[in-house]
Amino acid sequence: MKILYEDKNAEQLIKDELPLDTQIDVLYEIMRNVIDEGSIKAKTIKFKLQKHIKSEDVYRRLYALNKIISNGKGIDMIPNEKNIQEVLDSTNVWLTDEIAKRYVQNKIEAEVEKNLMEKQDKYIDEVRLGIIKKQKGPENAKTLKKYDDLKALDSRKLTKNIQAMLRPESFSEIVGQERAIKSLLSKMASPYPQHIILYGPPGVGKTTAARLALEEAKKLSYTIYDKEAKFVEVDGTTLRWDPREITNPLLGSVHDPIYQGSKRDLAEGGIPEPKPGLVTEAHGGVLFIDEIGELDSILQNKLLKVLEDKRVEFSSSYYDPEDENTPKYIKYLFDKGAPADFVLIGATTKEPSEINPALRSRCTEVYFEPLAATDIENIVVNAASKLEVEIEDGVAKTIGRYTIEGRKAINILADAYGYVLHNSELVDESKVRIDMKDLLEVISISRLFPYEELDKDVKAEVGHIYGLGVSGYIGSTIEIETSVFEAKEKGKGHVRFNDTAGSMAKDSVFNAASVIRKTTNKDINDYDIHVNIVGGGKIDGPSAGAAITVCIISSLLDKPLRQDIAVTGEISLRGIIKPVGGIFEKIYGARRKGIKLVILPSDNEKEVPTGLKDIETKTASNIEELMKLVFSLT
């Protein structure tokens, strides 16, 4: 109800002309329109105004009216003739405030009701559309066209992966790794399997062997693997994660409802959703990480924690364990974590010293061997058989001279296959024959370089010998040559050595000088000695010391050395041949070169692999024994 006053004169006129009881009756009427009857009765009882409100005395009635309209905040005493006008004005003010509040309240309620009606209509429309979509499905003309385009693209296959087609399907097809396979199986096919790191050069079958080992282990009754055990494979070089844990495909992450957005039904309730990672997918099976040495160091430490706990823990500031709307599986993941009990197999081409020590301490180690030339030949022959390709005699052996990787050998064969097929314009693929001239043309086009081999008819030479070195898991020969001349002025000779070989090799030369003086009774200061490492290779260790020493002695004494021998070992100032590392790899490098005899330190004798057929090994403990071996063989 609205009371409008045109101006103050009209208001004063009403006050002057209307009797007091009439004014109070009008105010009571306005109050009943503003305040509901229930509130009036409640306030009447609260302030004990029953007698006053029904009284004939206008002063008592005005007192009751003021108390009710002000909610007890008005006057405390019944008014009299002196202050009646003041109390009346005060009551008008209280009533005006109440009218203003009611007006605003009614306006807000009207707006709310209007919005509710609009939202109700919108909600009804959404429900109606939802029902229609459910009946028609989520598809429309555009989405169906995109789906058809994707199916059409997927039906077209441009390439066939020859590596996948020729991948070994059994251990018998993995060439040259019999010892590594036995070791791998003994560690996996056990009631108590161990985490494993596979070391070895690229392209020798580490990944394939691990995959086949799991399949073999599942067949055995005493192993822990069931038929559903998975082989989950991931590349450590491409495995990335966010330090803020926004995403972590390896261990898993939590999708919060605000920053990343979980599923719609969860996001609306503000519920975070954990996303288990690959470690949970591999639960009960094998997690294979290729190039594990390239895995981020922090992520490696997190992985170690999972290996210890066999679970992945999740946490989020948005998670409320008391929220009844949280699904059970989310509560389970937050309260107990995700299971992650698996066997870790990591493969790497790095040296063991380059791998995280904490990771190495939790894993046993298996070493895959570099492939010999005969192994490469067998791989090529087997691949040609699977491709149903005829190859000329000598093709497989020639490919073996140009690579030490099984994968690369297959690629060379595939290149030759495509070259012959294109240039011969054959209609029938089954009639492809790869001749030597075709292979040599492909090798020339690809600009491949062969691994050097010794000539069979090479003669003994003075001041020339082969040392042995290791790079990665591949051994190789180091060609050493020396020239010795009498100094122009006695006692003022010089020793020259190529600086690119490194400081360790230079130290070996100086050690050799002291040993030579003691052994031959010749003062090297009377000679100009030039030592050269052919090819400019850098020598990081002291293992070429023994070879350098006998090479200088050969030039000093003018004694020839047989050229199909190689020497490895550190030389001490006392002439003792000290043990060195990488014996297996060095013997491999000697075999590829065509070396027939390897002389190594006596302390390394136990490291010589068994079953060597095409190469001989002998040992020496000091320079005297070494000289007897190298000079008695010529």
> SS3 for 495?
strand
Residue 289: closest CA among 344, 339, 369, 355 = 344
Contacts of 478 (CB under 8 A, 6+ apart): 466, 467, 468, 469, 533, 537, 539, 544, 547
Tokens of 197: 């790191």
The residues that bridge with 482 in the sheet, in sequence order, are 531
- Between the alpha carbon of residue 165 and those of residues 159, 414, 479, 630, the distances in Å are 12, 12, 40, 49
CA atoms of 372 and 213, how far apart (whole Å): 23
Task: Select from 620, 621, 622, 630 the least CA-distant residue to 519.
Answer: 622
Catalytic residue IDs:
543, 586
| Among the listed residues 630, 614, 633, 581, the one whose alpha carbon sits nearest the alpha carbon of residue 454 | 614
Contact 260, 246 (CB under 8 A): yes
The two tokens of residue 111 are 């707006």
Distances in Å between the alpha carbon of 286 and those of 168, 221, 273, 360? 19, 17, 26, 17
* Residues 620/571, Cβ–Cβ less than 8 Å: no
Q: Which region holds residue 176: left if phi is over 0, alpha if psi is between -120 and 50, else beta?
A: left
Say which amino acid occupies 417.
Y
Note whether 35 and 68 are within 8 A (CB). Answer: yes
